[in-house]
């Protein structure tokens, strides 16, 4: 009888311990990382990047463990579709709403434009001005429909050189015999990477704006780790609004040499 009672006490204690552990157990979420300065910095950088700093501030780390992992660009969307990646930072595209849920508050915004060699006489005032030139295209980068059409036509005429990293794009453009004349990317990314590579004096960013894009936190509709994506995103939205209100958002932007209004417009 005493032995039976002792076993019941032990069983009750173990059950209570398991319930307590489950109550406080954290869930690991996989977040797509990238070498996309200054928004996501490479692993060997002392700085995390704007996007990563904001996500660390705004995702509840009492509830979640954040696992940032670099995923090859070609796999990213497929992994979001099937739920291998839980969280990604994306610009809005209607087609993506089939497999992700978007937050409402922009994490950041950026202007896209063109870069050329510093000694180039190329000047762009409209997309028609691109006609004579060979274009550099960073694989996986999303552009406007108009610019995509130009790329498609030029690609059929072998007037596009493709690269798979921003560093390789700089190498191609700055070679003694350049592979292309002009490339498009986020202006802040071009500026930051050129400075990091020590080639700022060899690169010129043109005034022309190809587009401005807002980027949002998204959750895969197939995520197994985020049970209520709407609440998860709503909490991040509220956090971002508060950071923008109390000045911390601006402090982070300035730390990376960016203007609050540019990245929040």
Domain with CATH 3.40.190.10 in the chain: 26-108+217-264, 110-212
**Superfamily name and number for 26-108+217-264:** Periplasmic binding protein-like II (3.40.190.10)
pLDDT tens, position by position, 76-101: 989 999 999 999 999 999 999 999 99
Q: What pTM, to 2 d.p., does this model score?
A: 0.77
Task: Say what the pLDDT of residue 264 is.
Answer: 54
pLDDT tens, position by position, 118-169: 999 999 999 999 999 999 999 888 889 999 999 999 999 999 999 998 999 9
For the chain, give the longest Cα–Cα distance.
Answer: 95
Phi, psi (rounded to 5 degrees) for 83: 90, 10
The architecture that CATH gives domain 110-212 is: 3-Layer(aba) Sandwich (3.40)
Residue 28 has pLDDT above 50, yes or no: yes
């Amino acid at each position: 009888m005493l032995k039976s009672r002792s076993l019941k006490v032990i069983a009750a204690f173990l059950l209570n311990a398991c319930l307590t552990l489950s109550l406080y157990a954290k869930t690991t979420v996989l977040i797509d990382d990238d070498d996309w300065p200054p928004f996501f910095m490479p692993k060997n950088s002392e700085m995390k990047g704007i996007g990563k700093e904001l996500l660390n501030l705004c995702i509840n780390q009492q509830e979640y463990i954040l696992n940032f992992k670099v995923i090859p660009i070609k796999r990213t969307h497929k992994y979001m579709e099937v739920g291998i990646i839980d969280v990604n930072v994306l610009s809005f595209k209607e087609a993506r709403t089939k497999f992700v849920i978007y937050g409402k508050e922009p994490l950041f915004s950026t202007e896209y434009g063109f870069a050329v060699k510093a000694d180039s006489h190329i000047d762009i005032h409209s997309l028609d001005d691109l006609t004579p030139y060979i274009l550099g295209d960073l694989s996986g980068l999303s552009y406007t429909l108009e610019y995509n059409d130009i790329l498609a036509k030029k690609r059929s005429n072998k007037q596009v050189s493709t690269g798979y990293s921003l560093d390789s794009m700089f190498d191609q453009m700055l070679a003694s015999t350049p592979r292309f004349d002009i490339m498009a990317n986020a202006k802040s990314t071009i500026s930051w990477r050129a400075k990091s590579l020590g080639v700022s004096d060899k690169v010129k960013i043109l005034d022309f704006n190809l587009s401005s894009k807002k980027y949002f936190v998204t959750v895969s509709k197939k995520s197994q780790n985020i049970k209520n994506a709407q609440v998860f995103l709503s909490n991040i939205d509220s956090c971002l609004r508060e950071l923008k209100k109390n000045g911390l958002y601006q402090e982070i932007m300035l730390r990376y040499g960016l203007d609050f209004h540019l990245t929040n417009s």
